[in-house]
Structure 1
Amino acid sequence: MTESDPSTTGAPPRTQTEQDRFSWLLDPALLTLCFVSVAIVVLGGLLQVSFGAYTMPIGKAWQSVIDADVLFDIRWLFKFFFGEGLMRSVTGYQGELPNLTTGTLVVWNIRMPRVFVAIFVGMNLAVSGAIFQAVTRNELASPFILGVSSGAGLTILLSLVVFTSLSGLLPLVAALGGATAFFIVYVIAWKNGTSPVRLVLAGVIVSTVFQSLQTAMFFFATDLGVVQTAIAWTTGSLTGVGWEQVRMILPWTIISMILATLSSRQLNVLLLGEQTAKSLGMAVEKIRFALSGVAVLAAATSIAVAGIVSFVGLIVPHLVRNLVGSDYKKLIVGCLFAGPALMVGADVGARLGLMAVTGANNGQLPVGIVTGLVGGPYFLYLMRKQQQLGEI
């Protein structure tokens, strides 16, 4: 007996080899995107570690990145990424760690964390934007436009200025603020269902209100240091980030990216429309709520360590969609690579741009300014190019 042809019966094939299941990973456009993105991250990371208050030859800085005393010593890697306490608990090592050269200490203690934070922030914001665009079936959706960024930013400012005891729970606080803002947007946009236009308009309304409240928080801050920190959150900055921020964002990034990758099938079904999704047996509202939670968590975690970095969640999914198509299996993977490339590239552009103006090699221009300067014109380009802008 032979199996029926699924193309004639409409039924899925009874068996599927692993090669067929993962054949989409060999898509030439996706492979090219990933390769170029990795090249940009590596080159941008090497440029980033080459500049700072402590001057060293570029060659020495690059050699410090691949210093075998760090890369092949699990104790140093555990200390950097997970903290000294966990390193000693896991390895059982209680003595003094081997000495590193001054250049290696400067690069790995101060400069490399900024690169890693940029990578994780880019991943989170890009994937968050991609999920929101599927959930709302709106290619203009992003954490920034849908009010999630402003909601998370407001709760972070409240933690910094008023509820200082919550400063150690910034990712969770930011997630709560982002979820609240998105819920308000959804309620405002709901009228026997939602539409791309209503969601965007509701997002603009909520973002405007929450940004006004953020500005009002500055009047309650009496400490100049708190004010400067708050300004950094609202502009989006990687200035002063260290291994503490890497440890803060790393576990939530892993959770968010795994959930997003596993949800690619559900995201594809949502793109078919609510009625079609229901006819296929999907509990649309439950799935939409769960996926929105993943997107909010990813965006809020990034905001907790880097502030409000605008437009990354809008630009990256749209660029990846144009290159690899709307299949969310490929789209999520593409965002995982393209998001870090944009963030690392923007951070390098911010550093080099300020160096060109001031001549100093230790300037710290907020990366959010660069992404805003890139994202604004790109948003205008989308409006001018596409006649049916909005719904996917």
Structure 2
Amino acid sequence: MATDTDTATDRRTRPRLASLADGRLFSLCLGSSLLVLASLLVQVSFGTYSMSIAEAWGAVLDPLVWTNPQVLLRFLFGEGLGNAVAGALGLSTAAVDLPTATNIVWNIRLPRVLVAVFVGMALAVSGAIFQAVTRNELASPFILGVSSGAGLTVLLTLVVFSGFALVVPFTAGSVVLSATALLPLTAALGGAVAFGIVYAIAWKGGTSPVRLVLAGVIVSTVFQSLQTALFTFASDIGVVQQALAWTTGSLTGVAWPEVRIALPGTVLAVVLALALARQLNVLLLGESTARSLGMPVERMRFALSAVAILAAASAIAVAGIVSFVGLIVPHVVRNVVGSDYTKLVVGCLFVGPALLCAADVGARLFFEVAFGQPQQLHVGIVTGLVGGPYFLYLMRRQDEMGEL
């Protein structure tokens, strides 16, 4: 027998589900998914080891991978933890000899696509949240200083503390975490510190969207200057090149460790963003209206910002500072499905990966197709080249650019 609580829950859930039953949202998600799939086929087919699309797809669907769960667990959790999980589940831990094509696709090419998917999701959701928090469609992790703060701490880790290692003791021994393994934590810390400074500068008996954006521009500029200064301390050309890749945004060389770094933070941020979609919609109504509806505006703004920082840090930790994704993806989705954040967040989860996967295909194959050379562009360069003209188009088309 249904209770009053069940009825109330149904009443709250039904409008949310109904808002997702939107033909435009479905078409947007379907088109984005097809673009990601096309990017996957291109990425796994091209490279130094040449194979046809049929051979690449056969490697992706290789039964030796899909019928041996321990292989998937090793990919997802790493060799040691993957074997431990397989043993705990009563699965075989025996090694499986994979064909060359399957090894190349699963160990080199497929992880790059997965990282692009997670980074695209994280940056798009982070940008959407910041635009609601500031009620300004020009807001993004980059503009509010989060990307610059996270990038600065990542560069500090790579350039100054590259030899640092943290020993974590356990009853059965200890685990040594290198500086690179700590990048997600340092990126999140840097993003949080940067946004904390932005919040402190913008605070004047409370904050306002305009003050947050202006403070974000100030902090972002200062932190970018510090990033540039760090290059003078790097004597190793390899470290300089790695640092440059971080500051421009790159997916070159990513593998399963980067998938494992990006996955937890991205999933947690996405779940929280979907759960808080109603609060995001209320913030769009303005501070006075939100307070009249009983919302603690400052606390909610701070909590939502923390979710956006988590998402941005997860992306920056594995791909560096990829520009424009957090800025233009919410625009694209908003122009198609409107400003309802229940639909907007879902749309961002599909359009963000589509944009970044397509951009990475261009970054990886441009020189090879155009000049027959194996060099690769950084994906942040491609997103900047795409995002700049698109934003110019929006600016020329819309009279009230900058307000939601």
Pairwise TM-score range, normalised by the shorter structure: over 0.9
Residues 14, 342 of structure 1: CA spacing in aligned structure 2 closer, same or farther, 3 A cutoff? closer
The CA deviation at 1:189 is 3.7
Read off the aligned partner of 1:60 and give its amino acid letter: E
Residues 308, 21 of structure 1: CA spacing in aligned structure 2 closer, same or farther, 3 A cutoff? closer
- 1:196-345 to 2 correspondences below 5 Å: 196-345=209-358
Partner of 2:388: 376
Pick aligned residue for 1:129 from 123, 127, 130? 127
Q: Is the 8 A contact 2:277 2:342 kept in 1?
A: yes
Partner of 1:61: 56
Partner of 1:83: 78
Secondary structure of 1:98's partner? Answer: coil
Distance 1:220 1:94 in 2: 49
Q: Is the 8 A contact 1:196 1:390 kept in 2?
A: no
Partner of 1:117: 115
The number of equivalent residue pairs is 380
Cα deviation, 1:204-249, whole Å, max 9, x if unaligned, reads 3222211111111111112222111101101100000000000111
Read off the aligned partner of 2:23 and give its amino acid letter: P
Residues 384, 18 of structure 1: CA spacing in aligned structure 2 closer, same or farther, 3 A cutoff? closer
Q: Is the 8 A contact 1:197 1:390 kept in 2?
A: no
The share of aligned pairs that are identical, in percent, is 66
Cα deviation, 1:152-194, whole Å, max 9, x if unaligned, reads 1001000111123243221121111112222223333445655
Residues 55, 13 of structure 1: CA spacing in aligned structure 2 closer, same or farther, 3 A cutoff? closer
Cα deviation, 1:247-269, whole Å, max 9, x if unaligned, reads 11111111111111111011111
Residues 364, 282 of structure 1: CA spacing in aligned structure 2 closer, same or farther, 3 A cutoff? same
Q: Is the 8 A contact 1:65 1:108 kept in 2?
A: yes
Secondary structure of 1:16's partner? Answer: helix
Distance 2:16 2:226 in 1: 49
1:107 aligns with 2:120: no
Partner of 2:401: 389
Read off the aligned partner of 1:56 and give its amino acid letter: M
Partner of 2:171: none
Residues 65, 158 of structure 1: CA spacing in aligned structure 2 closer, same or farther, 3 A cutoff? same
The CA deviation at 1:106 is 0.5
Distance 2:10 2:115 in 1: 42
Cα deviation, 1:46-84, whole Å, max 9, x if unaligned, reads 101111122223321121112122133211111111112
The CA deviation at 1:110 is 0.6
**Gap runs ≥5 in structure 2:** 1-6, 165-178
More off after superposition, 26-35 vs 382-391: 382-391
Partner of 1:4: none
- 1:137-216 to 2 correspondences below 5 Å: 137-164=135-162, 165=164, 166-191=179-204, 194-216=207-229
Partner of 2:25: 30
The CA deviation at 1:354 is 1.9
The CA deviation at 1:17 is 8.3
Residues 224, 269 of structure 1: CA spacing in aligned structure 2 closer, same or farther, 3 A cutoff? same
Q: Is the 8 A contact 1:24 1:330 kept in 2?
A: yes
Q: Is the 8 A contact 2:134 2:210 kept in 1?
A: no
**Gap runs ≥5 in structure 1:** 1-11
Cα deviation, 1:112-171, whole Å, max 9, x if unaligned, reads 000000000000000000000001111110011111111110010001111232432211
Q: TM-score, normalised by structure 2?
A: 0.89
Q: Is the 8 A contact 1:114 1:242 kept in 2?
A: yes
Distance 1:14 1:123 in 2: 29
Cα deviation, 1:87-107, whole Å, max 9, x if unaligned, reads 211221564322111100000
Pick aligned residue for 2:39 from 41, 44, 51? 44
Read off the aligned partner of 1:367 and give its amino acid letter: V
Partner of 2:176: none
Residues 197, 383 of structure 1: CA spacing in aligned structure 2 closer, same or farther, 3 A cutoff? farther
Cα deviation, 1:318-371, whole Å, max 9, x if unaligned, reads 1101111111110111101110000001001112322233213x4321000000
More off after superposition, 155-164 vs 381-390: 381-390
Read off the aligned partner of 1:380 and give its amino acid letter: L
Secondary structure of 1:22's partner? Answer: helix
Distance 2:253 2:46 in 1: 14
Q: Is the 8 A contact 2:127 2:141 kept in 1?
A: yes
The CA deviation at 1:34 is 0.7
